[in-house]
Amino acid sequence: MNRIIVIVGPTASGKTNLSIELAKAMDGEIISADSMQIYKYMDIGTAKPTKDEMQGIKHYLINEVLPSEDFNVVRFKELAEKYIVKILEKNKQPIVAGGTGLYISSLINNINFSESESDWELREALKKEVDELGPEHLHKKLQEVDPDSALNIHPNNIKRVIRALEVYYQTHKPISYHNEISRKTPPKYEFILVGLSMDRQVLYERINRRVDIMVENGLVDEVKKLVNLGYADSIISMQGIGYKEILEYLRNTYTLEQAIENIKQGTRRYAKRQITWFKRINGIKWFNLDNSGNNINVFNEIYEYIKG
């Protein structure tokens, strides 16, 4: 069975650097599992690796779609599996790296989210309900038909609440049932799961510094360019952390200083949610990094673990 390396961890933990070093050492190519790096024109706010930082390593699922295009876990899984096959056909090592927990889970647990096609009319009707009655109303509807999913989906995660209701209304079975059936299908690959962790305070300092660098590198101009290209505030990509806060600054809702602080706070909270999600996944081997920038010993440990 072919082995697929999967690198997970919170934002700013060093996944990109590690994946590139591993790809160099193991003749690999990288598939991004990041729900924001998928979008074109959104480079600075997503911490997308530059061409120089990629060091000649082929990356997939970066700059794949326009910011206005709908991209979800179904498309991620389809494309990720297609690119895994492509990399294996070259006799190279596939390396999946990213922090979007739902994407990672869909791949390693072989979850088939596409059991039912999207019902766009139903989806629009449910969105209208949210607008008129609020997210708690919709979440209560989910609790009635699929309490397991309701327990695992936050009321404010409207997109996932709607998808869970959509699956139930179409199949008369909860999405948790489909997920369980999918997990019973034997996996095509052996997944080697590597998690990166570090002291929480050190991680938060790295996040704060990363946001400062994004601003220095032109995050405000990047958001202005997206607005000038016609991308509306309401589309999902423009609601990503770093983009919605700068939009609010451009709309004079906040000062730039407040917008920057909001980005830092939002990113720290996101990192906390990522850690919680990944801790629930069985089989991840965790490696602790420090803030010295010299983690060669940890890299060697990870390399030996994968080889072993």
Annotated binding site for substrate: 11-16
Partners of 95 in the beta sheet?
Answer: 5, 30
Binding-site positions for ATP read 9-16
| Cα(276)–Cα(10) distance, integer angstroms | 10
Between CA 1 and CA 123 the distance in angstroms is 39
What the block records as the tokens of 274 is 């990522």
196 in Cβ contact with 15 (< 8 Å): yes
Alpha helices for 134-242 (secondary structure H): 135-145, 147-152, 158-171, 175-183, 200-216, 219-228
Cα 263 from Cα 227, distance rounded (Å): 19
DSSP assignment of 277-302 equals: HHHTSTTPEEEE--SSS--HHHHHHH
- Which residues define the annotated binding site? 9-16
Handedness of CA 300, 301, 306, 308 (dihedral sign): positive
